[in-house]
Structures are given as structure tokens and as C-alpha cells.
């Protein structure tokens, strides 16, 4: 029996649904049985990653470990987490479980450094304030030939509010988008070629953003990585 992919979800639930939908819709099949088996543990009780980083709130690591172990009980082949900020704890989480975790951050980096349109160009990070503070993207990009641009503190406040309203189910968050638009126009004028959806809520508002910059849907790219890995494992099983 083919082992399922494990999705460690709940951060937030809409982002979890988004990843699941993108895996399903981007898998080429002719019948149901050809789809990838997926086990989702949607745990919305995982403490706020933003509160933990910015305000010294309760760490999410215990609930992350608990959730991952629930997925291990389902005999998953590997685990993905549709939450960028949670990747701040990925090494500690990996050390406490036996199943490999596919990093969303590493996957995004791999995409950009292997695409000529981003080489020696600027990309803007749209992420939670906690992801920005922990510098998980900056640390990965600092030795690469892609120029990662971080919004100012004032601009980050607009992005943060947008993320929070998407978590509340406000789609589209019209007022927030009106405030975001001039920010994006400014960076577009400065030669920024792409927007990194560095929070899993950000790709949910990409359809409502009318700018020429490439919208880098990190959730979609993670879905494609899942499909690629599962197709490779199927090929190996057939050999």
C-alpha cells in the first residue's frame, strides 16, 4: 500500500486547505485511484507562532511534535507544514520525530536560485512579522545571488494586518489591499521582479493583487514538490 503524505496543518486551517487543494488540482490523473494519498492533522490549537516570537508567548514546539507524531501513527512517508513561521522550529521538530520534513523555506529558495528571472534581481518578502524577525528567509538567501528585500516596519504593519484579516476569513480584505497597493507599486518602481508569499495566507490574496511582479506562490510550489517526490517514489517502486 502506498504511504500517504502527512500535512501538519492548522496554522491556519485555510492555508492547510489551500495546500491540500493545490496538491489535488495539480496532480495529473485519469481516475480517483491515481491521486496521492494524504493524511492531514489539522491542529488549530498549536500556539501562535507570532506571539511566541514577538511577545515571548508559549512555544508551539510541543504541539508541533504532538501533531507530527499523530501523523507518524498514520505511517506517512514525509511531512510538510503549510506555515512559514513554524519553520523556525523545524530543526527541533525534526530531532524529535523519525519522519523527514520537507522544508517550505528550502523549497522556495531552490525555486528562485534555479530560475534565471530571479538571478541578480530583487524579490520582496511578504511574510508575518515573526518570520521577518527570525530571519529564516534572510539566513537562507544571504549566500545566494537573489536580492531579498524586506519591507519597512511601517509597511510590515500593513502586511501583518492583511494576514490577520485573511485568518479571520476576510477574502478579499479590501481595505488592506488598498493600503498594500502603493507599497507594491513603490517596490515595482525600484525594480523588484517578484513577490514571495512568505506567509501561507499571502497566496490566498494573490488573485486580488494587480501588479506586474511575479507572484511566487510558495504553497503551490510546495504542492508541486510533494507531487514530484511522490511520483519519484512510485517510479522507484516500479523499477
Q: Among all residues, which ones are annotated catalytic?
A: 83, 199
Element (H, E) at 38: strand 38-42
Residue 42 contacts residue 16 (beta carbons within 8 Å): yes
The CA-atom distances, in angstroms, between 62 and each of 46, 93, 135 are: 8, 9, 22
In the block, which residue shows the cell 524577525? 133
- Within 13 Å, how many C-alpha atoms sit on residue 41's CB side? 23
217 vs 200: CA distance, rounded Å:
9
Beta sheet of 147-149, edge-to-edge order: 147-149, 122-127, 192-198, 214-216
Amino acid at each position: 500500500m502506498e504511504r500517504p503524505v502527512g500535512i501538519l496543518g492548522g496554522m491556519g486551517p485555510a492555508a492547510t486547505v489551500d495546500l491540500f487543494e493545490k496538491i489535488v488540482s495539480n496532480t495529473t490523473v485519469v481516475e480517483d485511484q491515481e491521486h496521492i494519498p494524504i493524511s492531514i492533522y489539522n491542529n488549530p490549537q498549536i500556539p501562535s507562532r507570532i506571539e511566541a516570537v514577538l511577545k515571548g508567548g508559549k512555544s508551539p514546539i510541543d504541539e508541533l511534535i504532538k501533531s507530527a507524531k499523530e501523523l507518524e501513527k498514520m505511517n506517512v512517508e514525509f511531512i510538510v507544514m503549510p506555515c512559514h513561521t513554524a519553520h523556525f522550529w523545524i530543526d527541533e521538530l525534526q530531532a524529535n520525530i523519525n519522519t523527514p520534513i520537507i522544508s517550505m523555506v528550502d523549497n522556495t529558495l531552490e525555486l528562485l536560485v534555479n530560475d534565471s528571472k530571479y538571478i541578480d534581481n530583487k524579490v520582496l518578502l511578504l511574510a508575518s512579522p515573526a518570520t521577518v524577525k527570525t530571519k529564516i528567509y534572510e539566513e537562507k538567501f544571504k549566500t545566494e545571488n537573489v536580492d531579498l528585500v524586506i519591507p519597512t516596519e511601517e509597511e510590515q504593519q500593513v502586511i501583518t494586518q492583511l494576514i490577520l484579516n485573511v485568518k479571520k476569513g476576510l477574502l478579499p480584505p479590501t481595505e488592506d489591499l488598498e493600503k498594500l497597493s502603493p507599497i507594491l507599486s513603490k517596490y515595482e518602481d525600484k525594480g523588484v521582479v517578484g513577490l514571495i508569499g512568505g506567509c501561507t495566507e499571502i497566496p490566498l490574496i494573490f488573485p486580488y493583487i494587480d501588479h506586474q511582479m511575479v507572484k511566487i506562490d510558495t504553497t503551490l510550489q510546495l504542492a508541486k514538490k510533494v507531487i514530484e517526490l511522490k511520483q519519484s517514489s512510485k517510479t522507484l517502486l516500479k523499477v
